[in-house]
Structure 1
Amino acid sequence: MHSQWSWDALAGSMEGTCERAVEIGLSSLAFTEHADFTPWTLREDTEIPDAWRVLVTDGVLTPPELDLDGYLECLQRCRDRFPDLRILSGVELSEPHRHGHRFDRVLRAGRFDRVLGSVHSITAGAGFDEVSGLYRDRSAATVVRDYLAEAVRLVEGYDDFEVLAHIDYPIRYWPAGAEPYDPAAFEEEYRAVLRVLAGSGRALEVNTQVPLHPQIVRWWHREGGQTVAFASDAHEPALLARGLAEASAMVEACGFRPGAHRDDFWRRA
């Protein structure tokens, strides 16, 4: 989430990311800014950036509205400076199935090239808790299953996004003392998400921040998934396209082939 006072820094980071794209030979990239409406209940030991503390009231963090004008201004600066680079606008909608009418307004105003749907928080008591915090009170397996159940509700409950982001998001925070993560332990739950996603005609994101396990991509193919998108979740220029070569090879081995832009959507072979 970004606020008006941070757009100058963000613009510099976006331009630096474009410079990195040109340097490594990417033909296109998308900047998918976050749009969040779900308030998070913070625990006493929850660490948040100092700039977010003004958003906390009585232990609840309420995300700010997306500054769409600021985002679009930064995007246009990048397009003006890098006319030969295909720069897509984008937004990642957090839990849009909970806030549909509010996100509808965001999409009408932004007219984005790329729209992602994602889950970052799950019901916890009377409020919502960010997924990383759930491991304090629930077993690792329960967190993953609860997350995937929420992902099904997302796909079934909101139509206006084209890519499901980071289906394995909880694995980023897998606790050190838990049994080693094995996607096979959650095959039924993963395939339930992939089945409804394939039936809706949308794409699965292969996010390389934590490399997506090949088995999940194989299940996506078997459930009839047609399209794969890539994301490096690069919050700083140096991380752009990290792991992209390895992810591309893995996705190709699972039965998908590049589209018109090798760094854009890949299609079922």
Structure 2
Amino acid sequence: MLPTDNHVHTRWSWDTAGSSSMELACARAVELGLPGLAFTEHVDFTAWHGDDAGSYRGHAVGPRPHVRPFDVAGYSADLARCREMFPQLRILSGIEAGEPHLFSSAVATVLGAGDFDRVLGSLHAIENDGELQFVDADLFSRLDARDLMRRYFDELLVLVESSSVFGVLAHCDYARRYWPATAGDYREDVFEENYRSVFRALAASGRALEINTRSPLASVELVRWWWQTGGEAVSFGSDAHDPYSVGNRFAVAVDIVEAAGFRPGRDRFDFWRR
């Protein structure tokens, strides 16, 4: 049986406003036979707020013209409606906190405004030229690809070590999505020590690693590094930004995770464990 999808976006995320809804995502989960899903909407910010840790680093938040505030009240009402409509699903509330170690005060305010079952920690941006800039194809075109990946992993390690608000580390090599063809094939083994450093810190905190099926799928060897560094739990997340991507490639992801040594948890809703 397929596991719960712990990373789904709907119209309450600023980058998914017109491409998905909770109701359609739930219908897709039922169609696939998933036991449940977590609506982990994007929580990102366009400026430092209050006592954000990032405000003390001496750099600005770069332009984020499309980012919008997260409507906790609207999201919560929609969630309650879908729980009534789909009693056969376990529907979890959640957020995907972008750079929670930097936007520490702002994220705490959002968490205090609602009741969230799943909190994902994500790194989508790093400091460059005195600004916090999204990691994307444009940034890769301006910087050496390997150097950028190592800078990404260095910041990810800081995120894991300095923020405790999240329970699952999402897409641990998010920047890999934008790896340029001109740099040759992306090889996980080139960055093995970077992965292992992040995994050791995450494992020591007792949190879970996400296998993100929207990103290039992790290899069995990469997931085994997580197992070898003491990782206890694995979460599956489609990172769906449209309803038809819910549960995408989960069958393959399950095979990868099993081959690395993890097994289903206490029930269908639990993380997979060693």
TM-score (norm 1): 0.86
- Displacement of 1:65 in angstroms is 2.0
Query: 1:223-242 maps to which residues of 2 (within 5 A)?
Result: 223-242=229-248
Contact persistence 1:27–1:261 (CA under 8 A): no
User: Is it true that 1:20 corresponds to 2:24 in the alignment?
Assistant: no
* Counterpart in the other structure of 1:96: 100
Q: 1:1-269 to 2 correspondence within 5 Å?
A: 13-38=21-46, 61=65, 63-132=67-136, 133-209=138-214, 210-262=216-268, 264-268=270-274
Tell me, what secondary structure is at the counterpart of 2:67?
coil
Q: Secondary structure at the match of 1:212?
A: coil
Identity over aligned pairs, percent:
49
Q: Which letter maps to 2:30?
A: V
- Distance in 1 (CA, whole Å) between partners of 2:64 and 2:238 is 30
Which residues of structure 1 form unaligned runs of 5+?
Answer: 40-57
Could you report, residue by residue, the CA deviation over 1:224-259 in whole angstroms, capped at 9, with x for unpaired residues? Answer: 000000001111111111110110111011111112
- 1:170 offset after TM fit, Å? 1.1
Quick one: higher RCO (CA 8 Å, sep 6+), 1 or 2?
2
Q: Unpaired segments of 5 or more residues in structure 2?
A: 1-8, 48-61
Preserved CA contact (<8 Å) 2:46 2:64: no
CA contact (8 A) 2:20 2:241 kept: no
Change (3 A) 1:20 1:173: same
CA positional deviation for 1:158: 0.7
Name the CA distance, whole Å, in 2 between partners of 1:23 and 1:70: 26
Q: Which has the higher helix share?
A: 1
Deviations 1:194-228 (A, max 9, x none): 01000111100000012122222110000000000
| One-letter amino acid of the structure 2 residue matched with residue 124 of structure 1 | N
Q: Secondary structure at the match of 2:180?
A: coil
> What root-mean-square deviation, in Å, do the aligned CA atoms of Structure 1 and Structure 2 show?
2.7
What CA deviation, in whole Å up to 9, does each residue of 1:161-211 have, x standing for no partner?
A: 100000111111111211211000001111110010001111000000121
Q: Deviations over 1:133-164 (max 9, x none)?
A: 32021111112111111110101111111000
For residue 63 of structure 1, report the CA deviation from its aligned partner: 3.0
Number of residue pairs aligned between Structure 1 and Structure 2: 252
Report how far residue 126 of structure 1 moved.
Answer: 1.7
Taking structure 1 as reference, are residues 155 and 106 closer, same or farther at Cα in structure 2, changes over 3 Å only? same
Quote the Cα distance in structure 2 between the aligned partners of 1:85 and 1:221.
Answer: 30
Opposite residue 30 of structure 1, the aligned amino acid is: A
In 2, Cα distance between the equivalents of 1:261 and 1:38? 39
Is the deviation greater in 15-24 or in 63-72? 63-72
Question: In the superposition, relative to structure 1, how do residues 2 and 128 fare at CA in structure 2: closer, same or farther (>3 Å)?
Answer: farther
Do the aligned partners of 1:91 and 1:114 also contact (CA within 8 Å) in 2? yes
Please give the alpha-carbon distance, in whole angstroms, between the structure 1 residues aligned to 2:211 and 2:126. 22
